[in-house]
Amino acid sequence: MSLKIEKLVYGGYGFSKDNEKIYLIDDGYPEEVVEVDEIKRKKKTIFAKVNSIKERSPYRINSKCEHFQKCGGCQWLDYDYKHQLTSKTNIVEEQLKRIGKLDIKVNDIIASDFVYNYRAKMEFGFSYNNEVILGLKKKSSNEIVDLKSCPISPKEFDELRNKVKIIVNKLNIQVYNSKNKKGILRSLVLRKNNINNKIMMILVTSKENFNKKEELKNELLKLNISSLIHLVNPNNKVILSGKYNVWYGNEFLEEKFNGIKYKVLPTSFFQNNYNVTQKMLDYVNEYLNTQNTNNKSLLDLYCGVGLFGLYFSKKFKNIKGIEVSKTSINSAKENAKLNNIKNIDFDALDAIKFLKNSKSYDYLIIDPPRAGIGIEGVELISRKIREGVVYISCDPSTFARDLSEFEKLGFKIKSVQPFDMFPNTYHIENISILEKIK
Ligand SMILES: C[S@@+](CC[C@H](N)C(=O)[O-])C[C@H]1O[C@@H](n2cnc3c(N)ncnc32)[C@H](O)[C@@H]1O
């Protein structure tokens, strides 16, 4: 059966409707007529994959990646960037309507100046296929695609990843197997900073000690990196968790935005696209400039190593940063000292637990993981925040649910601004400015 794709929807799928049935189609683009293979059904929704293209979308381009469609990292590498942007703005507007029942004009998405090589951090997984391989997971699978190159990560990462692969094969070090819990090598994480292109390499193994460890360390030290960290993570799925040893160089990477310095430890979160992060900081700054905040307090919830709180510290009388990771909070405290910022303090706590017992604040900047803050969290915020909320989100669905709750509990949504933090993928970052109705 031939289907015409109307638009792209949340999750990156091409959307098509046939009578009562809705098709969510992998690898199909707007205006395209395709034949599909069904993958699975969920009530009236059929998930399918393009089998053949009958009429090609005018926005389909040739992808620059030899691994495209095998690797799960990017979904839209063969979709013209201008149209990626339009699709993303439309998806946010649609999620707000569908999930949040919010009829809001969403601002046009702010693009990334760099569509390739923009990522500051990549987590590559080790696997075995006749030899040790190193790359990213296939889409909806734990299988690893052996990468030779990756167009969205820095060019240096390709060379390092390929060299590490040769080294571990030469030393014959076993890959960790999550089923029988045997083996050593789990992941190779690479991070690049935005001040002077320093690269931190983090080798994640299942055990602290293993055969040929010293030889491996000596070989890795010959590579062009600024620091080498050995992280021991026996079986936690969150790869960047566990104890680490510094094998070489600094324990941290130093980042800088507009004069504010941040030391980021190997296991701490930091924004992944520096160019777009600066645009997000500028957007929040513009809003705060319209407010009279000098004598006001700010709560920076899910603060990481203090990116937002420290950046805006001069605008507020006092600031509190809350974050669940003790490591990140230790960095955040050190970052305050590093920048000589004295009106901020940080605590390592769960955001909801903190809100239940906290005092009130004038303003809130909130940047939760994909799950969002949730209904209970918004209810607590509505009692604890007196003036404005800057909600930063990396998932349009939980964002829509939470914004709708904010509106029910006495906040006015002043703006919704998407940012293209992750070009060539379907991921969308958003900032909403909300004001308490007095
Ligand atoms: C999207 S990151 C934002 C970090 C920071 N705002 C930044 O821009 O660098 C989300 C942060 O929330 C933290 N986090 C996750 N679950 C949490 C919880 N239940 N309570 C507090 N923080 C949490 C994570 O450790 C992570 O640092």
**Ligand 1 centre from 336 Cα, in Å?**
18
Q: Which two tokens stand for residue 123?
A: 């987590």
398 C-beta closer than 6 A to ligand 1: no
328 C-beta closer than 6 A to ligand 1: yes
Q: What is the structure's pLDDT at 140?
A: 82
Q: What is the structure's pLDDT at 44?
A: 87
Counted residue by residue, the chain has a size of: 438
**Ligand 1 centre from 302 Cα, in Å?**
4
d(CA 202, CA 326) in angstroms, rounded, equals 19
Q: Give alpha helix (H) positions in 322-387.
A: 326-338, 351-357, 374-384
369 C-beta closer than 6 A to ligand 1: yes
**Ligand 1: which atom is nearest the Cα of residue 270?**
9
- Under a CB-based contact definition with an 8 Å cutoff, are residues 176 and 205 in contact? yes
- pLDDT tens, residue by residue, 274-288: 999 999 999 999 999
Beta carbons within 10 angstroms of residue 130's beta carbon: 5
- pLDDT tens, residue by residue, 223-262: 999 999 999 999 999 999 999 999 999 999 999 999 999 9
Identify the active-site residue in 65, 150, 303, 394: 394
Q: What is the structure's pLDDT at 15?
A: 97
Angle subtended at Cα 142 by Cα 76 and Cα 201, rounded to the nearest 5 degrees: 80
How far is residue 78 from each of residues 29, 64, 68, 243, 419, measured CA to CA in Å? Answer: 9, 8, 9, 40, 20
Sheet holding 344-348, edge to edge: 344-348, 318-323, 297-301, 361-366, 385-393, 429-436, 411-419
DSSP E strands in 253-396: the ranges are 253-257, 260-264, 297-301, 318-323, 344-348, 361-366, 385-393
Q: Which two tokens stand for residue 239?
A: 């790869």
269 C-beta closer than 6 A to ligand 1: yes
d(CA 391, CA 366) in angstroms, rounded, equals 5
Q: What is the structure's pLDDT at 52?
A: 95
Statement: 97-113+273-436 belongs to CATH 3.40.50.150: yes
264 C-beta closer than 6 A to ligand 1: no
Beta carbons within 10 angstroms of residue 142's beta carbon: 9
Q: Which two tokens stand for residue 331?
A: 């960095």
Q: Which residues are annotated as a binding site for S-adenosyl-L-methionine?
A: 271, 302, 323, 367
DSSP E strands in 19-152: the ranges are 21-26, 33-42, 45-55, 121-128, 132-137, 144-146
CATH value of 121-251 in 3.40.640.10, 3.40.50.300, 1.20.200.10, 2.40.50.1070:
2.40.50.1070
Q: Which two tokens stand for residue 244?
A: 């680490």
Nearest CA to ligand 1 atom 1: 369
Question: Taking the CA of residue 242 as centre, how many other CA atoms within 13 Å lie in the half-sphere pointing to its CB?
Answer: 23
**Ligand 1 centre from 21 Cα, in Å?**
39
d(CA 35, CA 5) in angstroms, rounded, equals 11
376 C-beta closer than 6 A to ligand 1: no
Which residues face 36 on adjacent strands? 50
| Per-residue model confidence as pLDDT tens for the chain (438 residues) | 789 999 999 999 999 998 889 999 999 999 999 999 999 999 889 999 999 999 999 999 999 999 999 999 999 999 999 999 999 999 999 999 999 999 999 999 999 999 999 999 999 999 999 999 999 999 889 999 999 999 999 999 999 999 999 999 999 999 999 889 999 999 999 999 999 999 999 999 999 999 999 999 999 999 999 999 999 999 999 999 999 999 999 999 999 999 999 999 999 999 999 999 999 999 999 999 999 999 999 999 999 999 999 999 999 999 999 999 999 999 999 999 999 999 999 999 999 999 999 999 999 999 999 999 999 999 999 999 999 999 999 999 999 999 999 999 999 999 999 999 999 999 999 999 999 998
Q: What is the structure's pLDDT at 438?
A: 87
- Under a CB-based contact definition with an 8 Å cutoff, are residues 312 and 291 in contact? no
H-helix or E-strand spanning residue 41: strand 33-42
Active site residue 71: no
Sort strands 411-419 and 344-348 into parallel, antiparallel or unpaired.
unpaired
**Ligand 1: which atom is nearest the Cα of residue 268?**
27
Q: Which two tokens stand for residue 405?
A: 């709750």
DSSP E strands in 138-259: the ranges are 144-146, 185-192, 199-205, 227-232, 243-248, 253-257
Q: What is the structure's pLDDT at 175?
A: 98
d(CA 372, CA 238) in angstroms, rounded, equals 18
Q: What is the DSSP code (8-state) at residue 176? A: P
323, 390, 427: residue to mutate for ligand 1 pocket, most atoms within 8 A of CB? 323
d(CA 85, CA 390) in angstroms, rounded, equals 22
**Ligand 1 centre from 59 Cα, in Å?**
36
DSSP E strands in 147-296: the ranges are 185-192, 199-205, 227-232, 243-248, 253-257, 260-264
15-24, long-range: CB < 8 A, 24+ apart: 20/44, 21/45, 21/46, 22/46, 23/48, 24/48
**Ligand 1 centre from 200 Cα, in Å?**
21
CATH value of 2-60 in 2.40.50.140, 3.40.50.300, 2.40.30.10, 3.10.290.10:
2.40.50.140
Nearest CA to ligand 1 atom 25: 325
132 C-beta closer than 6 A to ligand 1: no
**Ligand 1 centre from 188 Cα, in Å?**
22
Say if 97-113+273-436 and 121-251 have the same CATH topology: no
Per domain, the residue ranges of the chain are 2-60, 97-113+273-436, 121-251
303 C-beta closer than 6 A to ligand 1: yes
Position 306: which residue type?
A: G
